[in-house]
A = this chain, B = another copy of it.
Amino acid sequence: MAAAAVTSNGGAAAANGGPAPGRLASVYSEVQTNRLLHALPLPSVLRSSFAIVDGPASSAAGSPDEIAKLFPNLFGQPSASLVPSAQPLPTRPLKVGVVLSGGQAPGGHNVICGIFDYLQEFAKGSTLYGFKGGPAGIMKCKYAELTSDYVYPYRNQGGFDMICSGRDKIETPEQFKQAEDTANKLDLDGLVVIGGDDSNTNACLLGEYFRSRNMKTRVIGCPKTIDGDLKCKEVPTSFGFDTACKIYSEMIGNVMTDARSTGKYYHFVRLMGRAASHITLECALQTHPNAALIGEEVAAKKQTLKNVTDNITDIICKRADLGYNYGVILIPEGLIDFIPEVQKLIAELNEILAHDVVDEAGTWKSKLQPESRALFDFLPKTIQEQLMLERDPHGNVQVAKIETEKMLITMVETELEKRKAEGKYPANFRGQAHFFGYEGRCGLPTNFDSSYCYALGYGSGALLQSGKTGLITSVGNLAAPVEEWTVGGTALTSLMDVERRHGKFKPVIKKAMVELDGAPFKKFASMRDEWAIKNRYISPGPIQFSGPGSNDSNHTLMLELGAQA
């Protein structure tokens, strides 16, 4: 409970009153202070001198010819691995920039700390610049020089507030030129871009551009997103996923205990993850809910909203027969994006709302296709209104604003009333809606995310020092203790495919979706019938930073690595 101001000379002490950058004047809780002092283990290869070994030439995730054309200088680069070596990398001071791009993820600060410490250790006299507010900071040359005092208070702390983040993209020729000017002005040897799939694609385009301009500035990416949808064989996970899932799972576990104690509520919990349902799947594996909807499965089975509703209703009825009138159901926030008929309805609505008058009497509805009309009428009134009223600046329906968990509660309620009238459901349904979102993406990083990010930062420094560009830092062998983790880099172009947009090929790193034949989903699928009916709830409790379990990562990662059955 004791709170103290933070200083750079060893944790909490009275602030000295002088101007303090960033968090230096902040007041820290005991847990924050304790985390500040938490020592970060490093993979053993980073603890003494190493060399970098290249693998074979790489290709692309798809359309290699197109990717080769888009990245003439970078396509085909080999993967790089750090290996112990008596002969250290040639050491000289570097000027390096770092930028945080997109939504926050626990551990981002540790990537920066890792780069900083790497440069201090292996390239003495180096300078690290933090671009402020995301890629816009690069374009506007808005930055802070990251000193030991500046960086210190952020060790093992959540958030992105050391330099903040942003969602701008470097896209137009003018913007690339601005980035070039900044790199030249700061005389940058390297730039580390910490971001998700889009940001890493952007990082690679920037690396290609710098190379084409014969600039010395190298670009390295780092895999960040709590959604867990940026990963591949060599990059086993994105940072932040572990912490966010553990925070959500703690709360889900608490809600389960509540459900079991009260015996009268069905809790519908919406979780982050617009594109992929990894978070929902991981939280299900951690907590054993009565149902968890996986968007990818809904899409693969071409389920309708009625199917989804019926599946939940069936479970509720079965449980009622067993005397259980409570439960917990997990829902990914992107669910309705996976339902084809909903997409169709929304496209039609956008068209109608853009061109037609929406009359009170509802004659406008006759413009909907019959299936869409039927679906619209099937939706709860509040959702119909939301679809009509909540529009983005372009006049489009804001799917993101739809509270899917409340929608499902209303639809399940309606279906249960019908069944009750038919004598098929003897109980009373009471739904409770939850959304666990913001509170998860800014928590204090777990030991796993703290160590993983620190290694990513160190690795990024090593790749830049060895002159690499266009790689994403890859830290592997994550089922082993930190000492045995591998460190290297993977060609960003090898993760890419192309998409045709406005008649042009655009490179994209495909989001890693939940694989229905992957180990995490298969484990879930093998257990869910039991979880549905029996009460197998697990309460993971709060994240513990010491003691048993504190160094474990997550089920998804361990199952994918084959380290868990």
Chain A residues in contact with chain B, CB under 8 A?
1-3, 26-35, 104, 133, 157-161, 164-165, 247, 250-251, 253-255, 257-258, 260-263, 267, 286, 288, 432, 434, 438-444, 535-549, 552-555, 558, 564
Contact = CB atoms under 8 A, between A and B. Distances in A.
A251 B441 CA distance: 10
9 contacts: A1-B549, A29-B286, A31-B544, A104-B262, A157-B257, A158-B257, A165-B261, A254-B442, A267-B438
B442 A258 contact: yes
A470 to B, nearest CB: 28
Contacts of A251: 251, 439
A29 B252 CA distance: 13
Contacts of A440: 254
Contact of A161 (B253, B261, B554): B261
Contacts of A555: 1
A132 B210 CA distance: 71
A268 B33 CA distance: 27
B261 A160 contact: yes
A164 B1 contact: no
A542 B261 contact: no
Given A438-B258, A438-B267, A288 B27 contact: yes
A210 to B, nearest CB: 28
Copies in the complex: 2
- Determine which residue in A158, A254, A263, A434 has the highest number of CB atoms from chain B within 10 A of its CB, and name it: A254
Nearest to A537: B26
A547 B438 contact: no
The 7 tightest CB contacts between A and B, nearest first, are: A31-B541, A542-B542, A30-B549, A159-B257, A1-B552, A258-B442, A257-B442
A188 to B, nearest CB: 24
Contact of A31 (B31, B159, B549): B549
Nearest to A433: B435
Contact of A261 (B104, B261, B538): B104
A527 to B, nearest CB: 11
B31 A540 contact: yes
Contact of A255 (B2, B286, B442): B442
Nearest to A555: B1
A262 B159 CA distance: 9
A262 B163 CA distance: 10
A165 B262 CA distance: 7
Nearest to A165: B261
A438 B159 contact: no
A317 to B, nearest CB: 22
Given A1-B553, A549-B30, A250 B542 contact: yes
Contact of A548 (B34, B539, B553): B34
Given A29-B539, A444-B541, 17 more contacts: A1-B286, A157-B539, A158-B254, A160-B261, A164-B261, A164-B262, A165-B262, A250-B443, A251-B439, A254-B440, A258-B442, A267-B438, A434-B438, A443-B542, A444-B542, A542-B542, A542-B544
A35 B61 CA distance: 47
Q: Select the residue from A26, A250, A545 with max chain B CB neighbours within 10 A.
A: A250
A541 to B, nearest CB: 3
A1 B558 contact: yes
A263 B164 contact: yes
Nearest to A444: B541
